[in-house]
Amino acid sequence: MRRDTLRPANPHHPRRRVLPGVVALLVAGYAWWATDLRPFTLPSLVAVLSGGLVAMALGRTRLPARAPPLFAPRRPEAWAGLAAALGLWELASFLQHPRSDHPTLSSLADTLFQSHPARAIGLLGWLSVSACLARR
């Protein structure tokens, strides 16, 4: 084996600075393409799920492990309480009228994600959260 192959990688090499930018552009292009698909169809489902699986796989293998954040409920009871609170809010808002005065979570999300750029940013956020959750 040649000796020059055993040298540590140079962190200042131009390829090390360009690669993250290229990856960011590719992921942003993917998010733009995936959110341009017709919603609630098989192609959009496959695009979103495959992107999430790839993000989780890369997050698991490429991102360094970190200390848990300050607010990280570890017990199932805490997560169940949060889910119950959100579910009760959704139910109470659904039963009260008019919807403009008592919006449900889904109507708030529909309003938030009406534009294509907002959907692409939302997908990028979802992919980031997927990678970070897989890292833990």
**What value does the mean pLDDT take over residues 74-98?**
86
Question: Model confidence at 63, in pLDDT bands (50, 70, 90)?
Answer: confident
**What value does the mean pLDDT take over residues 8-14?**
62
Question: What's the one-letter identity of residue 21?
Answer: G
- Using a 10 angstrom Cβ sphere, with 0-12 exposed, 13-18 middle and 19 or more buried, the burial of residue 32 is middle
Amino acid 30: pLDDT:
96
Residue spans per domain, the chain: 15-41+50-66+112-136
Amino acid 3: pLDDT:
53
Place of tokens 């698991």: 60
Mean pLDDT check: name the lowest of 14-18, 90-94, 96-100, 108-112: 14-18
Amino acid 105: pLDDT:
84
Cα(112)–Cα(64) distance, rounded to whole angstroms? 32
Helices (H), the chain: 14-34, 42-62, 76-95, 105-112, 116-135
CA 55 → CA 5, 72, 125, 132, 134, distances in Å?
Answer: 30, 21, 11, 9, 8
